[in-house]
């Protein structure tokens, strides 16, 4: 009998899982199911690989996961590029965290504290010093902090490279929605597709991001959509050149960031709301992003606005991903979702976790906080 693995969801997480499984021959056949591969949060994201400036107070475990994944990123990027023959657009210029209002200086203190706790130091900069490093920054910027070890990636190039690597490794892609994971005698039987067909499988990896909860009753309630809006802009002839590194700013308590892309482009993000699966980009969201970004980059008004987009971060109750067997789910079902605000960053670590889970090896020590086993079984009505 063929040992078939089905992966549900072809964002960065699911495509990585399918590629790793096929590359390492962890199943006889790997099938990746998604009605619109690469169309979810992974398409919309900023692509920052910046655990320290991303972590909020009290999110120690998330910071550690992010740091463990950041350390893996150069190797992961090289492996994806080698397997696909495509660039993922990894950038190594680091992050500059800046503040506009005196009240936001605490943000910088928090980052310094995180870095020190982690055995690293950061360079505190005056407003003038930040402008010397990044002339695109305006006079409103009062202080900053250089975090040189952060990385960034072009998430759209990454998606294309992962898809090519998966295809080369022999992954079969089915472009249709799955409705649920089927089971028999407490074990996975396969996956029901919207067409009515059932794809038989011994193991199923659920990696459908914010949509994962609908795919089996034991997953319901574990993940929710956290809406985010983002803009893409481009410097025009005569515009002030964009910054060369990721800039994260606090403007009157609101976070805004700019991530450079090739061709004078910048990704500006991101709003954050609990609004269910409402995919509209709102006028208020765009206004706030532009107003905050313009305080930091006064030359922005002259840029071309190329795109606005919204998607859904897969949020969990403790902001940590859910990886591995889930209490109350059939044997053979592996969760791989809930990567929240940092799924692009966490993909490098997730790749190793998925490979270990599928091979029956112990997972990396640094990933233990993400184990799905931490979740209590949910009451499921029959
Ligand atoms: C505005 C914004 C900015 C962000 N910026 C960053 C950043 O700078 N750095 C960072 O690390 N992270 C960032 N994130 C978070 C990151 O994008 C996510 O954590 C990550 O993309 C999640 O990847 P995923 O593969 O789990 O989900 P997704 O990319 O959402 O993919 C899920 C896939 O599942 C598919 N699917 C849905 N239903 C079904 C079904 N029934 N059957 C089969 N397939 C299905 C969808 O079509 C989709 O392709 C950002 C997110 C947002 C929204």
Which ligand 1 atom is the nearest neighbour of the CA of 40? 30
Which ligand 1 atom is the nearest neighbour of the CA of 39? 49
Residues facing 97 on adjacent strands:
145, 248
Ligand 1 pocket by Cβ (under 6 Å): 8-14, 33-42, 44-48, 177-178, 207-211, 228, 230, 269-270, 311, 313-314, 337, 339-345
Residue of 14, 3, 16 lying closest to 83 (CA atoms): 16
Cβ contact 337:283 at 8 Å: no
Cβ contact 4:201 at 8 Å: yes
Task: Look at 7-16, 120-129, 278-287, 316-325 and tell me which has the smallest mean pLDDT.
Answer: 120-129
pLDDT at 108: 85
Cα(43) to centroid of ligand 1, in Å? 7
Going from the N-terminus, what domains does the chain have, and what CATH number goes with each? 4-43+156-223+317-374 (3.50.50.60), 95-148+225-315 (3.30.9.10)
pLDDT at 1: 59
pLDDT at 101: 84
Q: Best of 344, 348, 353 to mutate for ligand 1, by most ligand atoms within 8 A of CB?
A: 344
Cα(343) to centroid of ligand 1, in Å? 7
Rounded average pLDDT over 95-121:
82
Cβ contact 134:245 at 8 Å: yes
Say what percent of the chain tops pLDDT 70: 97
Cβ-based neighbours of 317, under 8 Å, separated by 6 or more: 222
What confidence tens digit (pLDDT) does each residue in 140-199 have?
999 999 999 899 999 999 999 999 999 999 999 999 999 999 999 999 999 999 999 999
What confidence tens digit (pLDDT) does each residue in 213-267 have?
999 999 999 999 999 999 999 999 999 999 999 999 999 889 999 999 999 999 9
What confidence tens digit (pLDDT) does each residue in 74-101 have?
999 999 999 999 999 999 999 999 999 8
Which ligand 1 atom is the nearest neighbour of the CA of 227? 53
Measured by CA distance, the residue closest to atom 15 of ligand 1 is 341
Measured by CA distance, the residue closest to atom 43 of ligand 1 is 34
Cα(240) to centroid of ligand 1, in Å? 32
Kindly list the distances between the CA atom of residue 229 and the CA atoms of 14, 275, 311, in Å, as whole numbers in the listed order: 22, 12, 7
Q: Return d(Cα 133, Cα 129) in angstroms, integer.
A: 6
pLDDT at 256: 96
Q: Best of 42, 91, 205, 275 to mutate for ligand 1, by most ligand atoms within 8 A of CB?
A: 42
Q: Return d(Cα 235, Cα 229) in angstroms, integer.
A: 20
Cα(10) to centroid of ligand 1, in Å? 9
* Predicted model pTM: 0.96
The beta-strand segments (E) located in 296-338 are 304-315, 322-325, 333-337
Q: Return d(Cα 61, Cα 353) in angstroms, integer.
A: 16
What confidence tens digit (pLDDT) does each residue in 340-365 have?
999 999 999 999 999 999 999 999 99
Cα(153) to centroid of ligand 1, in Å? 15
What confidence tens digit (pLDDT) does each residue in 24-60 have?
999 999 999 999 999 999 999 999 999 987 767 678 8
Q: Best of 69, 72, 177, 341 to mutate for ligand 1, by most ligand atoms within 8 A of CB?
A: 341
Q: How many other C-beta atoms are found inside a 10 Å radius of the C-beta of residue 364? A: 14
Q: Best of 41, 219, 227 to mutate for ligand 1, by most ligand atoms within 8 A of CB?
A: 41
What confidence tens digit (pLDDT) does each residue in 265-279 have?
999 999 999 999 999
- Is a pLDDT exceeding 60 seen at residue 377? no
Tokens of residue 209, six digits? 């991001």
Cα(14) to centroid of ligand 1, in Å? 9
Tokens of residue 294, six digits? 């313009």
């Amino acid at each position: 009998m063929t040992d078939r693995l089905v992966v549900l969801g072809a964002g960065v997480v699911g495509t990585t899982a399918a590629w790793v499984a096929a590359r390492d021959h962890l199943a006889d056949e790997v099938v990746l199911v998604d009605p619109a591969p690469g169309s979810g949060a992974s398409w919309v994201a900023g692509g920052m690989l910046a655990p320290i400036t991303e972590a909020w107070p009290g999110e120690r475990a998330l910071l550690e996961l992010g740091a463990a994944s950041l350390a893996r990123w150069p190797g992961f990027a090289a492996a994806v590029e080698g397997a696909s023959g495509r660039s993922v657009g990894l950038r190594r210029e680091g992050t500059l965290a800046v503040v506009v209002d005196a009240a936001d200086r605490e943000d910088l203190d928090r980052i310094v504290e995180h870095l020190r706790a982690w055995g690293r130091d950061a360079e505190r900069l005056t407003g003038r010093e930040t402008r010397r490093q990044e002339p695109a920054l305006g006079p409103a910027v009062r202080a900053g902090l250089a975090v040189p070890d952060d990385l960034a990636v072009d998430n759209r190039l990454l998606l294309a490279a992962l898809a090519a690597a998966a295809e080369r490794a022999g992954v079969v892609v089915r472009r249709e929605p799955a409705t649920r994971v089927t089971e028999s005698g407490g074990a996975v039987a396969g996956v029901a597709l919207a067409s009515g067909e059932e794809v038989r499988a011994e193991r199923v990896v659920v990696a459908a991001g914010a949509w994962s909860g609908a795919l089996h009753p034991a997953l319901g309630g574990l993940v929710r959509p956290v809406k985010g809006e983002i803009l893409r802009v481009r410097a025009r002839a005569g515009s002030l050149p964009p910054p060369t590194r990721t800039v994260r700013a606090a403007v009157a308590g609101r976070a805004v960031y700019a991530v450079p892309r090739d061709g004078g482009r910048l990704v500006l993000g991101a709003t954050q709301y609990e609004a269910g699966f409402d995919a509209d980009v709102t006028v208020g969201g765009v206004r706030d992003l532009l107003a905050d970004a313009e305080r930091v980059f006064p030359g922005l008004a002259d840029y071309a606005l190329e795109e606005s987009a919204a998607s859904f971060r897969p949020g969990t109750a403790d902001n940590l991903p859910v990886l591995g067997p889930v209490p109350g789910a059939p044997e053979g079902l592996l969760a791989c979702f809930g990567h929240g605000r940092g799924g692009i960053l966490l993909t490098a670590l997730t790749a190793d976790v998925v490979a270990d889970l599928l091979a029956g090896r112990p997972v990396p020590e640094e990933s233990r906080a993400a184990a799905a086993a931490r979740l209590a079984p949910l009451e499921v009505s029959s």
